[in-house]
Amino acid sequence: MKKFLKHVFLFLAPVAVLLVACEWALRCIPNDASFREAQLEKHKQTITTLILGDSHPYFGINPEYINQQTFNLAAVSETPDLTLKVVKHEINRLPNLKTLVVGLSYFSLYESLTEGSEAWRLRHYNIYRSMQVGEFPQNHLEIASFSMLQNIDRLLSYYAHDKSEVTCNAFGAGVTYRDFNAKRLRESAVIAAKRHTFDLQSADVQLQRTIQRKALQNIVSLAAKHNIKVVFVLLPAMDTYRELIPFEQKQEMLQVVQQLQKINKQLQFLDFSADPRFVPHDFYDADHLNAAGAQKMSSILAAWLAN
């Protein structure tokens, strides 16, 4: 038996060492989470405004066109329950924080990143920002978040071709959605609207509705305790996308915001969803602004914040 266990150990030890080395090497690849964590730590004394939410504000609001004290901490597929955790994590680290700009979407109330197909993104919260979310080990390890072939490709991309995984600028805003493409704009409307449409009668959706509404309420309440202003923002979207989203979903989002405003009179809501200042060439796809659109959106927001 001892001899057998010795052979097992001799076989498994190199495998374990290889896995640990692979995990370490993957964590050394620069990514949005590690880069933005370093930026936050570097500028924590001067940041006064945080941009939060999902991919819409991540790509659609660029602090470069607002001021040096604004930082974008929004993340692709982030849901309000995760945004609440981010607020709790950052609110004491940023002593001069005055404003939270929280992006909302027509689907914000109906799903959670922890439950969906995008849950692999949770590793960013756990590994690089020391937040405890999701399941172990798949949401806490780089090697468990992707297939072995994908991880090998990531390692080769960085260590052989010096290609990092950072897709944001120094202010935390996503910068990969740069151009305009008429075909993509047209085709993405149906695809995105289908992905963002939910059966409001299903038990799972009703559960998430309760969780996400409570999360939004807690964001507002927590901010109020720290004398921090909250601004909910609905960013521009193409009419071809908006018209395909069920009326009930759009109406419920507005009702939730109105209910929260009754509780907290300081809560502001800016609805740019159908703003005529945004034209097709401002969009990357039907529900995301491109670089030009983000510059326009950020300049408008900067003027509003200044006043």
Residue 124 lies in a domain: no
Closest-CA residue to 19 (of 160, 152, 147, 143): 143
Residue 178 lies in a domain: yes
| Total number of domains constituting the chain | 1
SS3 229: strand
pLDDT in tens, 150-180: 999 999 999 999 999 999 999 999 999 999 9
Residue 141 lies in a domain: no
Residue 112 lies in a domain: yes
Residue 160 lies in a domain: no
pLDDT in tens, 103-117: 999 999 999 999 888
Query: Can you give the pLDDT at residue 138?
Result: 78
Q: How confident is the model at residue 14 (pLDDT cuts 50, 70, 90)?
A: confident
Q: How confident is the model at residue 10 (pLDDT cuts 50, 70, 90)?
A: low
pTM across the whole model: 0.93
Residue 19 lies in a domain: no
From CA 35, how far away is CA 227, in angstroms rounded?
28
Nearby residues of 134 by Cβ (< 8 Å), 6 or more positions away: 114, 119, 122, 123, 125, 126, 140
pLDDT in tens, 50-64: 999 999 999 999 999
Give one word for 72, left, alpha or beta, with left for phi > 0 and alpha for psi -120 to 50: beta
- For residues 126 and 37, the answer to whether their CB atoms sit within 8 Å is no
Q: How confident is the model at residue 6 (pLDDT cuts 50, 70, 90)?
A: low
SS3 29: coil
Instruction: Look up the CATH number of the domain holding residue 101.
Output: 3.40.50.1110
Please give the full DSSP string across 94-156, using - where no structure is assigned: -TT--EEEEEE-TTTTS--TTTSTTGGGGHHHHHTT----S-TTTTT-STTTS-HHHHHHHHH
Exposed, middle or buried by CB within 10 Å (0-12, 13-18, 19+), for 51?
Answer: buried
Q: How confident is the model at residue 17 (pLDDT cuts 50, 70, 90)?
A: confident
119: which 2 tokens? 């849950």
Residue 142 lies in a domain: no
Residue 157 lies in a domain: no
- Please, what is the end-to-end C-alpha distance for the chain in angstroms? 77
Domain span at residue 240 reads 31-117+170-306
